[in-house]
Amino acid sequence: EVTKDWNGADQVAIRSPRGASVRVCLHGGQVVSWRNDRGEELLFTSSKAIFKPPRATRGGIPICFPQFGNCGTLEQHGFARNKIWTIDEEAPPLNYGDNNNNKASVDLLLKPSEDDLKCWPHWVSLSMDGDLSLISRVRNVNGKPFSFAFAYHTYLSVSDISEVRIEGLETLDYLDNLSQRERFTEQGDAITFESEVDRVYVGSPGVIAVLDHEKKRTFIVRKEGLPDIVVWNPWEKKSKTMADFGDEEYKQMLCVDAAAVERAITLKPGEEWTGKLELSAVPSTNCSDH
Residues in touch with ligand BG6 (CB under 6 A): 69, 76-77, 153, 177, 198, 230, 232, 255
Nearer to ligand BG6, 106 or 261 (CB): 261
Query: Which of these, 230, 173, 232, 212, lies nearest to 290 by C-alpha position?
Result: 212
Q: Measured from the CB atom, is 131 or 173 closer to ligand BG6?
A: 173
Whether 95 and 133 have beta carbons less than 8 Å apart is answered as: no
Smallest separation (angstroms) from ligand BG6 to the CB of 45 = 13
Beta bridge partners, 282, equal 218
Provide the 8-state DSSP code for 19: S
Instruction: Identify which of residues 21 and 57 has a Cβ nearer to ligand BG6 in the complex.
Output: 57
Give phi and psi for 161, each to the nearest 5: -55, -30
| C-alpha angle 234-148-110 in degrees, rounded to nearest 5 | 90
Summarize the annotated binding site as residue ranges.
Answer: 58, 76, 81
Shortest distance, CB of residue 239 to ligand BG6, whole angstroms? 11
Burial 204-232 (b: 16+ CB within 10 A, else e): beeebbbbbbebebbbebebebbbbbbbb
How far apart are alpha carbons 98 and 9 in whole angstroms? Answer: 33
Residue 228 and residue 223: Cα distance in Å, rounded?
9
Residue 14 or residue 256: which is nearer to ligand BG6 going by CB? 256
Instruction: Identify which of residues 130 and 234 has a Cβ nearer to ligand BG6 in the complex.
Output: 234
For the bound state, the minimum distance from the C-beta of residue 95 to ligand BG6, rounded and expressed in Å, comes to 30
The type of residue at 82 is N
**Binding-site residue set for substrate:** 58, 76, 81
**Minimum gap (Å) between residue 200 Cβ and ligand BG6:** 8
